[in-house]
Structure 1
Amino acid sequence: AKAEYFTAPGVKGKLTAAFFKGVGQLPVDRSGARGAGEAAIKAGIQVVESGGLFGIYPEGTRSPDGRLYRGKPGGLARVALATGAPVIPVAMIDTEKIQPPGQVVPKLMRPGIRIGKPLDFSRYQGMDGDRFILRSVTDEVMYEIMKLSGQEYVDVYATAAKRQIADEAKARAEEAKRDRKQAAASDENGTERSDA
C-alpha cells in the first residue's frame, strides 16, 4: 500500500495506518526517489522466504479508466527472481465501478476475481539485475492478467495516463473559462451598442 497510508496525520491517519498494518500491508514509497521502493521489495522477499504470500499490483497505481496498463518492471519481477517462487496472476474485475478514481466511498458490490495458473520464472534465476529480463517477466505476468480479465491493454504506464487525463481536464477547464470570458465580453459589447 502507498506509504502515505502509514504516515497521514491526525486521528484518521492513525486509524488508516492501524488498518493497513492490521491487514498485513507493507508501505511502498512511490515518490520515484532513488531506491524508494527498495524497502518494500526486501520486505516482499522476506515474506516469501518465510513461507508467506506476497501480493503486489504491477501497475503501481489504480487504472484511471478500467483498462489494463503497462506493469512496472522491478518489484514483482525482482521478488520472483530473488526467491524462485512462482507468480500467481490475479485479475480483479470491476474495481473501477466499485470505487472510481476520485470517489472516496466505495459502492457496496463485490469485485470479480480470477486466478490464473502459477508462472515459473526459474529460467531467469540469477538474472534479476538485467532490466530486459525484469521487463520480460513483468510483461508475461501482465499478459496473463489481460487474458484473465478481458481488459483492453494499454502499453503506457497508468501514472502517465492519469497525468494525461488530468492535463486534458485542466485544458478543457481553461478553455471553458476563456469561452465564458469571451461570451461575457461580447454580451457587454452588445449591451453597450444597444444603449448607444
Structure 2
Amino acid sequence: MTEHDRWQALQIRRPDEVRTTPGGPVPLGWQAEKRTGHSARLMNTRLPADFPHKVERGDEGDALAVLALGEAMRRDIEAGRGSDVRTAAELGATWRQIADALDTTPAHARGLLRAWATGQHRLYSGDRARGEARPLGLDDERYGAVLALCATGDDGEPPSGMTPEPAIRCLVIRSGGESSPQEPQQ
C-alpha cells in the first residue's frame, strides 16, 4: 500500500490526524482531494430523496472531515506564508505587489516575512546549540539577506540613504584585438 493509498483510506475527524505515517505533512493537493470527496457527498444530502441518479450521500463523518481538513489546510497554508512571501520578494516582486496579493499593506507583508525569518533563525540557532550536524532554518547570513529584502521600499526602491549599485559595463574584446564597451545583458 502506498502512502497515498493509506491517506485515502484514513478517517479524518481532527486536524492533527492529517499526517503521513512517518509523522510528516500531507501535501495540500492530497488534502484538497480528500476534502472535495467529503464535500461532494455532503452536497448530495441536499438532493431530493427521489433524485433520479445514484449518488453517495454524506453523513456526520463527512461533515467532520470537511471541517478538520479545512482547518488542517488553513494551518498548513498559514505556516508556509512567510516562505511564500520570501520567494516572491527574492524573485523580484515589490512589497506593493506582495501586499496586493495578500490583500494587506506592504508594512504587514514585511512583518510576515520578518516574523517567519526570525522563527527560522531561531530554529537554526537552536539546532546549532544542540549540535545538529545539518541545522534547519536560516543561518546568520541568510537571515541578514531576508531582512535586507524587508528594507526595500514599497515599489522596490533601495532603502533610504542607499543608492543602487551602478550598472556594470563590460569591455568586450573580440578576436583581432578590437574592443568595445557593452552594457550587461539582463
- Do they superpose with TM above 0.5? no
If asked which structure has higher relative contact order (CA below 8 Å, sep 6+), I would say 1
- If the length of structure 1 is used for normalisation, what is the TM-score? 0.22
* Structure 2 length-normalised TM: 0.23
Q: Which has the larger radius of gyration?
A: 2
